[in-house]
Structure 1
């Protein structure tokens, strides 16, 4: 039985590797480290199907090191210690840990001593942000390399390479009428792209000419739609559907997509973090309690764990879905950042500056600053922007009951300068 096409097409040398030119190009930092056999312990962070596992295999092969491969899903401290106890050759062995973000703190701590002493060269692969998922102590001992999703030209090159070099595919007469559906459905995932290509070819294997069209690819993809794969495209599709259902105020759809993720083994922390982001980005000041609820949910998930945490996650998902929505604060900070970049040269007005010394007071620092507490309604009609930006509006309250009240208050306070 033939191995899957992605496995058959796995690169055997660095020159065969497609993508990641910043790391593996002629002057790429990682290529130079491999060529000089000065490979550091590292975390490979990137989306699925960009070659993290393949790169670990190539590093071990190119530097003539023993490779031990573990999956964080199925291994624990015992398996780690078994590997660390094995003898090594002239150079420290490469220990590759797929989905390293799935290791808990004690499992990650078990690696610290060996990495620090150089007993092993650790290569961890993750689709999650290492800043959130990897212990700071371990992260400080590793170089983080960011792998980017494959671009259109790279994916097309991968398709043609498969058709021309694979022993099975090159016996068939395959032509590409269009690439759009293959590229769209693969989402930059090389493994998924090759799997889809093989599905399409096998579905039409009896034809003398296999002319691949968008319609053909879409039909085959629908017939063979894979179940949720945490490390595949549906991971991103389903979390997107979940967030859009919350944003669209549909608690039923939100619960359904959350249940799909839970049943597939998604990390509850990941779901809770996404709800916390959504609570601020999409609800904001329309219901400030939402971010408090979402943060409490994240902390509860960490303390209680699954399966009990599903109840809290359900409660908060329903709460977020049924809350009024506003992205006014999210839009405001992006506008503020853009404005700050353009106007970083503008000085702070003297009346807003701190005056810790007598000289600063003498030259006017803090002079005429008005304390809001000393004015009716706790409001001092004073400019708090650089003079050149006086009256600039960044925060536009959303169309909901609470922010309508905020709008009225701002108009009352700032009506002379601001127009909401």
Structure 2
């Protein structure tokens, strides 16, 4: 049997390789990486790495010896250039590689803004460790930072920059932060918390162009209302798009901006799988197909695909969950929001530790916890079980959330 070739040494790609070996896969595994660095954790890039709290060795997904010991042929600086599905080959700069199974784990690319002056020095995106190195170096001499986009990357970087004493302005095109990801009450809390720390926000703000110095460095961001904001460093954090550059000749079905896959990560073409940010699927906890850009989803999909390739059957069914660290806040999310839910507040936001539970009748469908790790873990279990809960008990911050199930079950 030919090798499994994994295109992309992302969280999903590395986990797929590791899980294949754990499931007893004895054939070859080739892991192609477009980057020259050993595969690394991405979430700390906007926080601990930029802040200097973690070095690059601490970011590694696996120690370098792991790939040798597990006989995983990790090829750094060797991106896939094209894929020939008829010959069942992946073309790289060093030749053609035959595959028996192909895994696409190419991730996503940072969106850019094609504004006048966008080529100026001092304008950054943050997706890779190379981006983070450049950004960390540029921060040393920066005083005025403008962040375009009030999403998770932008807010995490804002908290890091504020803690370093920088002047920070966040531009958000919507009227509140994280409109699609968080309930309004929580987004208001996060915005207010940032403000108390010194960050400034402009809502409904659209950048129109960058003003540069004579030597080609950004100096200001001009908004569509004519306002100019001083900026010697700009982070563009307006989301990501799936990296679909290789899939055209594969004629794979696509949906929701990604490659359509089933619960095993299998695409519309036999023996080709897609995982992580590039994959779109009908999640059991959503109302339709979607891409989920999260480490948890990438890892869970990779485990499911590896099981399937190795001859097992473990379809993806895990509750989606996410997290973000900003200042001393750990915000954890479980489930996916749905229209028509009611909200239950558990705790007092003024205390800095609370949860917002979204209910569909007496079932919990999504939960958002701030510095309440136990609530988060309980929520994941409750959502997965689909059990009814007693809302009065669930709202009582002094009652463990799991206890609400027992009360409901015997009432």
| TM over 0.5, shorter chain | no
Q: Which has the higher contact order (CA 8 A, sep 6+)?
A: 2
TM-score of the superposition, structure 1-length normalised? Answer: 0.30
TM-score of the superposition, structure 2-length normalised? Answer: 0.30
Whose radius of gyration is greater, 1 or 2? Answer: 1
- Higher-helix-fraction structure: 1
- Higher-strand-fraction structure: 2
